[in-house]
Amino acid sequence: MEPMSANETVACDLCASPDHKLLFVKEGFRHVRCNNCGLVFVNPRLHDHLDRQSRTGTGSMGEDLLTPAQVRRLQRELTRLEPFRRLNRILEVGAGRGWFLGEASRLGWHTWAVEINSDALQRLRSKGIEKITTQPAEDLQAPEDSMDVVRMWDVIEHLSSPRKAVTAIHNALRPGGLLTLSTTNFASLSRRVNGPEWVYLNGADHIFLFEPATITRLLTEIGFRDIGIRTRSFNLRRKLYHPEEDLPPRWLILRPFRKIIDETLRFTLLGHQMLVTAVKR
Ligand SMILES: [Zn+2]
């Protein structure tokens, strides 16, 4: 494990309030909830947070190879995006190894990848993606109203400022264009069961822990409408910061029921993964 770098204390990214209460400390990282808007975030956070994301960001790489089922899932996702295809331009923030944009490009989309992870960049270049930029999402400079779709999968929890990044994405989308994003759900059943040992709590990388209420507020304030949120999956795993060490699940009694719980959670907002869509006015 790398030595801790200097910390920086931040105000709430969603409402700018400096008031928050401590929820818990995990591996030295204070997880707080804003007293004004309810946003959960790590505070203070590592000063070199952004730099770490470009070197070691856990969210930015993705799989080495996709299974046929994973490829079909991407293809189904692209089919659902067809109604938004007017300018024929799609942008992915945190494109990882480019699996999604590679499929999009095969379907004739003009593709633009934003990726700060230097390892991922090498792989991206082989996927036929037209434009690859390496600036952080917060500094995205796409032409205004130029995109039909922006996709941001498992990225927002890593950003230095979700508000800045989503505002830049909003500018890049054409009116009626679609933002699709995923992130972990702090209000999920698995987080409630596992508490601070919830597998996704990793204070060096995951510095924003959204819930349906806080992601809705962010998107609404920036000017999105038709916000749709689904959640899925119940993950019983617990983990400390060291990625290789899993803790034994706390509620082992639930394990035999995991499939049933998974199926049931799809109809609630209690799944651990949030899938969010929003349309620019
Ligand atoms: Zn707040």
The 10s digit of each residue's pLDDT in 31-68 is 999 999 999 999 999 987 777 777 665 444 567 789 99
Rounded (to 5) percent helix, strand, coil in the chain: 35, 25, 40
**pLDDT one-digit tens code per residue, 21-36:** 999 999 999 999 999 9
CA–centroid distance, residue 184 to ligand 1 (Å): 18
CA–centroid distance, residue 34 to ligand 1 (Å): 5
CA–centroid distance, residue 106 to ligand 1 (Å): 42
CA–centroid distance, residue 28 to ligand 1 (Å): 22
pLDDT at 71 over 70: yes
Domains and CATH numbers, the chain: 24-32+47-280 (3.40.50.150)
CA–centroid distance, residue 130 to ligand 1 (Å): 38
pLDDT at 2 over 90: no
CA–centroid distance, residue 36 to ligand 1 (Å): 5
Q: Specify whether the CB–CB gap between 145 and 175 falls below 8 A.
A: yes
**H-state helical runs in the chain:** 49-56, 68-81, 99-106, 118-124, 162-172, 189-194, 212-222, 258-265
Q: Specify whether the CB–CB gap between 211 and 265 falls below 8 A.
A: no
DSSP for 34-75, please give it: ETTT--EEESSEETTHHHHHHHH-TTS---SS--HHHHHHHH
What percent of the chain shows pLDDT beyond 70?
Answer: 93
**pLDDT one-digit tens code per residue, 249-269:** 677 777 787 788 888 888 889
Q: How far apart are CA 83 and CA 131, in angstroms?
A: 23
CA–centroid distance, residue 281 to ligand 1 (Å): 24
Q: How far apart are CA 103 and CA 120, in angstroms?
A: 17
pTM (two decimals): 0.90
